[in-house]
Amino acid sequence: MLPKLVLTQEGSTELFVPAESMVAKEPKTFPAFFNPAARINRDISVAIERATRPRTFLDALAGVGARGVRIANEGNREVEVTLVEFNETSARIALKNVKRNRLEGRCRVVHQESNAYLNSRFGRLERFDAVDVDPFGTPAPYVQGALTAAQDEGTISVTATDTATLCGVYPVVAHRRYGAEVRRTEFPHEAAVRILLGFCARMAGITDIGIEPIAAHSTLHYIRVYFKVLRGAARSDASLKHIGYVVECGRCHERTVAPTYAQSCPLCGAKVRPNGPQWIGSLIDEAVVSEAAQYSSAQGWKDAARALKALERTNLFPPFGYSIEGITSRERISSVRLQRVVDALEGSGRSAIREPFGSSGLKTDATYKELLTAVRESARQAASR
């Protein structure tokens, strides 16, 4: 017997969902799971799908089918969607949602364990142009299967809800799950995004696959990355050249990027504990992100548009950021507005943007000393007014 269901709407799609999930503080995973707070996640998925135009889409952990059904209903009209779900109750609800939106011709539900289905694509021609993995918790057990199921030049999207682990709160768990040394930093969400991408790139290398990031965002309690699959040993080798470490020195406070594990700051010689291995290359496909942001704005999806627009110019900056609050506290400087600091840096010939991944800091091509000068000058000007 199905649980009590209610009808809700996301975008132009109507969805049957467990009634309790719409009122519970934390939606239950049993007998069926639906998280209304993940709507932004699904909005961005639809926008990215519109920009990348896959012909086939696999929702590998479909739940009640919210993402896959929305892709079929709101995405490109030719896309064929497969929803895989092991929970029989969720699969039955997903089928109801397919029928509710009259998508039987382009949307099918498969009742099967997700990894079994993903890995059944190994060596087959029936791969997908887009594969989505959105588990409850870590995506680590599903990444290799997703790579197996994705077509060359296809797109994989991965969600991680073990955000605290990826942000350095539980370093032992991070080492176990992602094979990385993860430290707490002043830019935790960007570090989390890059740790996750680095893990995906290393897993891809096992089967001679490279990756090319398309987009990423950190929203609420989860991390989300999108990347293109590039099959071939040479492309895999090229991808792995973008794996490295970020060093955050506790003495001189400069950040540096190292291709290998470093135990001392290259600038002042202090002992350091680097973050990584992680992805230190570009994070977005600017054309895809721009088109997805425009589509989100046109649909009135303000949160999705904001998250995508925040990524603009990200590729121009190093793979780390700075906390203005951290600087003012450490250097005993009066609080200063972030935008004042950005303006001061740009006035001195440097560039800066707000940190796009849920933190309150900024990204800049300035050195720490140059940034500190800009913070002090901004505080001085604010005090004189």
Confirm if 59 and 81 have CB atoms less than 8 A apart. yes
Say which residues have a Cβ less than 8 Å from residue 149's Cβ, sequence separation at least 6. Answer: 58, 60, 117, 118, 119, 121, 127, 128, 131
Together in a domain, 338 and 271? no
**pLDDT tens per residue across span 219-242:** 888 999 999 999 999 999 999 999
54 and 198 part of one domain: yes
- Element containing residue 7 per DSSP (H, E): strand 5-10
Regarding whether 356 and 230 lie in a shared domain, the answer is no
Instruction: Decide: 87 and 65 in contact? Cβ < 8 Å.
Output: no
Q: Report which of 67, 52, 43 is spatially closest to residue 228, judged by C-alpha positions.
A: 52
Which of these three, 279, 305, 338, is where a domain ends? 279
Model confidence, pTM? 0.96
- Tokens for 37, please give them: 């707070």
Q: For residue 371, what is the domain's CATH number?
A: 3.30.56.70
Alpha-carbon span 119 to 207, nearest angstrom? 13
Cross-strand partners of 228: 155, 212
Residue 301 within a domain: no
Q: Domain range for residue 191? A: 5-279
> How many distinct structural domains can be found in the chain?
2
pLDDT, tens digit, for every residue of 330-362? 999 999 999 999 999 999 999 999 999 976 799
Does some domain include residue 307?
no
* 87-123 pLDDT tens trace: 999 999 999 999 999 999 999 999 999 999 999 988 7
* CATH number of the domain to which 122 belongs: 3.40.50.150
State yes or no: pLDDT of 6 exceeds 90. Answer: yes
User: Cα dist. 256→167, 268, 320 in Å?
Assistant: 19, 11, 9
Element (H, E) at 324: helix 324-331
